[in-house]
Structure 1
Amino acid sequence: MQVSVYDTYVTRTDGSVMHFDILVPTSLTNQATIHGYGQTYLATKGQAGQPLTARECRFCHIEQATESIQNSIANQGFYIIEMQGCL
């Protein structure tokens, strides 16, 4: 399965920056849905309501998904790769 990777930077409530990737099927191009997935993830990190728009979240590239990524996408529609500041 090919997935689209959206490079995302969100300012946390304490002013630090979270950097994570949102992975979705390449067939999904609706920005509102992708941003909604990002908001879902932010809520799990206590950062609900932080701005997440095309300014913070941009298409980066397409890659082959691993089996675990495919399973996550099958279950919830997306997968998150935490890069920096996501604790």
Structure 2
Amino acid sequence: MQQFLVDTNVFVSAIKNPESKAGALDLILELISNKNVRLVGNDLLLLEFDKYSERYESETASIFRKIRLLILSMQPHASRKIPF
């Protein structure tokens, strides 16, 4: 299984300009949906994502926050991996 870290710049591009030809949103969605990929990160990265989701409020940012909260609520705290 491959592991990837989504850089903050990619995340910001995805939420600010979801229809951009650069394809940041498409890349993130492909990584999320690929069963052979595991996204990695840490609490600091998630705080940055949250900060930019609030700063650049959009439908895409709202969806990312809801997905992340849903995944967090489904996992026991002790064994929780950092989801995106």
Superposition TM-score tier, normalisation by shorter sequence: under 0.3
Which one has the bigger strand percentage?
A: 1
| Greater RCO (Cα-Cα under 8 Å, separation 6 or more) | 1
TM-score (norm 1): 0.25
TM-score by length of 2: 0.26
